[in-house]
């Protein structure tokens, strides 16, 4: 078993966000609840068994993004980040954190990210997809001009932004009516995140802020598989595309993808081929996935060299999150 792995899509919750996870896990909620809340017992035990040295914590989905009231979103984001900081302080040898942000107020989100990075030592942000603002039946995506000053702050802080999935609004699920099994993590999570990522690529955002680093889970929400087809068709039918480069350029230069919840060797091979191994990061998606399941698959892949396995397991994360030599030594 490879020791010293870094996992970076690993979740916990505050009391106000617990019901968000229960809605997607009614049949195994007791187990999920235990693993989501008692991270110092449950998560660390699984980490030890799976050879995971460090988990970078974040708040579950949709949490802050599902609060239409701007003031309440700002308040819960701060409480959530204070909670994350407390958990990291208890076990700084095993945990780091990504900030929850109230994107309902882009200026407040920028200030909260700066606080979390500069005062709390957080390694970036994880935001659960689009935000509802002022009314529950709204969806604001972060390619919109109102968010560009926020992106300037992200770039200036030089930290990554994890674009994590959330479900499509109920009012926009007409194509899934009668098929509830398509909603949530099996299908609509990935569609929502991939579309959001494409909006960022096609908006001109990365021309304005070329140093931005965006992380996608689940081996890229199917984008590495689809990107050639997208660029091929866009070259013939651009239809108002504002990017100066092909979509594949942004995927290879501004995005990273993690293995979270997609323990499939063919998908990993495709992501490596499309983006290079330097853009792939190990993750689990705890507590919704098992640490031992993820690492049993990852450690057993025979089509990846040991050098590349080390990059995916921890080397790429060490570079992206600028982990110091002391932390590296602890992973040995």
DSSP string, 171-213: GG-GGGTT-GGGSSTTTHHHHHHHHHHHHHHHTTHHHHSTT--
Q: Which two tokens stand for residue 172?
A: 């926009």
Pair 212, 206: CB distance under 8 Å: yes
* Residues 83 and 57: beta-carbon distance below 8 Å: no
Distance from C-alpha of 101 to C-alpha of 115, rounded to nearest angstrom:
11
β 95-97/52-59 pair status: parallel
Contact 113, 101 (CB under 8 A): yes
Asked if 36 and 12 count as a contact pair (C-beta separation under 8 A), the reply is yes
- Burial call 295-325: b when 16+ CB within 10 Å, e when fewer: beebeeeeebeeebbebbbbbbbbebbebee
Active site residue 285: yes
Are 134 and 111 within 8 A, CB to CB? no
Instruction: For residue 53, give both structure tokens.
Output: 């040295």
Find tokens 């009516």 and name the residue: 177
- C-alpha–C-alpha distance, residues 11 and 14, integer Å: 10
User: Phi/psi class of residue 312: alpha, beta or left (left: φ > 0; alpha: ψ in -120 to 50)?
Assistant: alpha
Measured between alpha carbons, how far is 3 from 52 in angstroms, rounded to an integer? 6
Query: Using an 8 Å Cβ cutoff, are 54 and 6 in contact?
Result: yes
Among residues 20, 105, 143, 285, the one annotated as catalytic is: 285
Residues belonging to the active site:
285
């Amino acid at each position: 078993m490879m020791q010293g792995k870094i996992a970076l899509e690993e979740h916990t919750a505050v009391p106000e966000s617990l019901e968000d996870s229960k809605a997607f896990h009614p049949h195994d909620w007791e187990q999920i609840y235990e693993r989501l809340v008692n991270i110092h017992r449950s998560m660390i035990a699984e980490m030890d068994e799976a050879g995971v040295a460090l988990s970078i914590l974040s708040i579950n989905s949709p949490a802050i993004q599902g609060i239409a009231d701007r003031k309440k979103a700002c308040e819960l984001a701060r409480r959530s980040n204070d909670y994350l900081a407390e958990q990291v302080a208890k076990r700084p040898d095993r945990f780091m954190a990504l900030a929850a942000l109230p994107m309902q107020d882009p200026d407040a989100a920028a200030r909260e990210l700066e606080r979390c990075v500069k005062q709390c030592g957080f390694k970036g942000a994880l935001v659960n997809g689009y935000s509802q603002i002022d009314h529950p039946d709204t969806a604001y995506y972060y390619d919109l001009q109102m968010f560009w000053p926020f992106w300037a702050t992200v770039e200036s802080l030089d930290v990554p932004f994890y674009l994590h999935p959330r479900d499509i609004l109920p009012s926009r699920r007409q194509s899934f009516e009668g098929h509830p099994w398509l909603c949530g993590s099996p299908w609509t999570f990935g569609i929502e995140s991939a579309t959001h990522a494409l909006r960022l690529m096609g908006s001109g955002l990365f021309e304005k802020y070329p140093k931005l680093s965006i992380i996608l889970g689940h081996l890229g929400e199917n984008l590495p598989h689809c990107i050639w087809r997208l660029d091929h068709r866009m070259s013939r039918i651009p239809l108002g595309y504002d990017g100066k480069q092909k979509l594949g350029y942004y995927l290879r230069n501004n995005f990273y993808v993690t293995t979270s919840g997609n323990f499939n060797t063919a998908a990993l091979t495709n992501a490596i081929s499309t983006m290079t191994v330097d853009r792939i990061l190990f993750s689990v998606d705890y507590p919704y996935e098992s640490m031992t399941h993820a690492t049993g698959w990852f450690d057993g892949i025979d089509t990846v060299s040991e050098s590349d396995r080390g990059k995916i397991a921890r080397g790429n994360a060490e570079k992206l999150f600028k982990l110091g030599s002391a932390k590296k030594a602890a992973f040995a």
